[in-house]
Amino acid sequence: AQKVLLFGDIGIDDTVALIYAYLNDEIDVVGVVADYGNISRENALANIQYVRTLLSSEMTEQVTIIVGAEAPMTGELPVYVPEIHGEFGLGPIIPPLNFMNGITENFHEIVDIIKENEDLLIVNIGRLTSLATMFLLYGDLMRKVKGYYVMGGAFWVPGNITAVSEANFYGDPVAAQVVLRYAENLKIIPLNVTEQAIATPKMVDYIDAYGPIDIVKPLLDYYYNFYKERNPSITGSPLHDVLTLMAAIKPDMLTYERLPVHIVQAAEGTERGQSIADIRPFLTDGEVEPNKHDIAFQLNYKQFFMDFMTVMSG
Ligand code: BDR
Ligand code: CA
């Protein structure tokens, strides 16, 4: 199985991604880093522990839970989004709120996880603050990681937080820029493809009837209601974070293009956190080209559908 270290702000689609990972034999989750974002870091910690109790097995017991970042690198206070993810990050569900439950601040344990696991992939499905911190502190070590998959950005399509910006990059544009500067073998999974990775109410009902986990339906119904109210023409909820995790084990599911990309560092305004890919065939005098990364532009929905349904309905 592919070893994965997951960084996430464990709200609704992050939780479904975590459940998908635990149910999938092709994925071996070696650690989960709890970050602020959709909800507070403490709520993320509580949700990770709650999901583990639902899927309790020898495998989930061995997953290291890491206390990640509680606020962005910009120096601002964190801003949460309870209107999308619910007060505790799980829609209508109130998980046991024993936030720390024996966990102490242990960010340095990421170092051991990376040292001990060959061929490790890192998948980041929330704000990039913790991952950027790792690059600033442990540059050499981070080059040992086989590859990075980051959910974030919107390229020539509407944003989901401002007209042009996506939430994970908007929430901490400084961290996003740090990661883009230092990461090698990085794949960006933007809204261009994640908004196509739709779970329809029919799919959710099927998973509810045949799958082993009964919180998937209440989570995704809540999520769908929010999206539907905002945009009545949508047919289901976008599984941004599930798609990003899936990309790490299904190399053909997405089609990528390698382009120079940078993140707008404005403190405020529409363009804060905007992801810009440069498709000019030239540079102007004195201009430094930003690093090139693989950006996903096309999704094979049929493959997404088959894989998601197979894994989630057991
Ligand atoms: C991203 O922002 C969060 O709300 C979701 O969990 C996802 O990671 C989508 O922009
Ligand atoms: Ca997320």
Evaluate: CB of 160 within 6 angstroms of ligand 1.
Answer: yes
Evaluate: CB of 166 within 6 angstroms of ligand 1.
Answer: yes
Separation of alpha carbons 9 and 292, rounded Å? 26
Evaluate: CB of 38 within 6 angstroms of ligand 1.
Answer: yes
pLDDT digits (tens, 9 = 90+) for 276-300: 999 999 999 999 999 999 999 999 9
Q: CA dist 241 to 62, 139, 232, 289, Å?
A: 22, 26, 22, 29
Q: How confident is the model at residue 101 (pLDDT cuts 50, 70, 90)?
A: confident
Starting at the earlier edge strand, list the strands of the sheet with 27-34. 64-67, 27-34, 2-8, 121-124, 147-151, 186-189, 292-299, 254-263, 275-277
Separation of alpha carbons 278 and 2, rounded Å? 32
State the average pLDDT over residues 196-214. 97
Separation of alpha carbons 246 and 115, rounded Å? 24
* Span from the CA of 306 to the centroid of ligand 2 (angstroms): 22
Contacts of 292 (CB under 8 A, 6+ apart): 258, 259, 260, 261
**What residues are neighbours of ligand 2 (ion), with CB under 5 Å?**
9, 14, 125-126, 241
H or E stretch covering 296: strand 292-299
* Span from the CA of 168 to the centroid of ligand 1 (angstroms): 6
pLDDT digits (tens, 9 = 90+) for 52-65: 999 888 888 889 99
- The answer to which of 91-105, 131-145, 153-167, 185-199 has the lowest mean pLDDT is 91-105
* Span from the CA of 313 to the centroid of ligand 2 (angstroms): 22
Q: CA dist 36 to 40, 72, 144, 257, Å?
A: 5, 8, 26, 30
Separation of alpha carbons 76 and 162, rounded Å? 18
* Span from the CA of 285 to the centroid of ligand 1 (angstroms): 37
Q: Which amino acid is at 133?
A: T
Sort 116 into a burial class: Cβ within 10 Å, 0-12 / 13-18 / 19+.
Answer: exposed
State the average pLDDT over residues 247-274. 97
pLDDT(248) > 90: yes
pLDDT(228) > 90: yes
The angle, 0 to 180 degrees and rounded to 10, between the axes of the packed helices 201-210 and 301-312 is 30
- The pLDDT assigned to 134 comes to 98
Separation of alpha carbons 297 and 227, rounded Å? 22
Give this complex's ipTM.
0.98
Q: Kindly report the average pLDDT of the chain as a whole number.
A: 96
Greatest CA separation for the chain: 61
pLDDT digits (tens, 9 = 90+) for 21-43: 999 999 999 999 999 999 999 99
Q: What are phi and psi of 11, to 5 degrees?
A: -100, -150
- The pLDDT assigned to 269 comes to 95
Evaluate: CB of 43 within 6 angstroms of ligand 1.
Answer: no
CA nearest to 237, candidates 296, 197, 264: 197
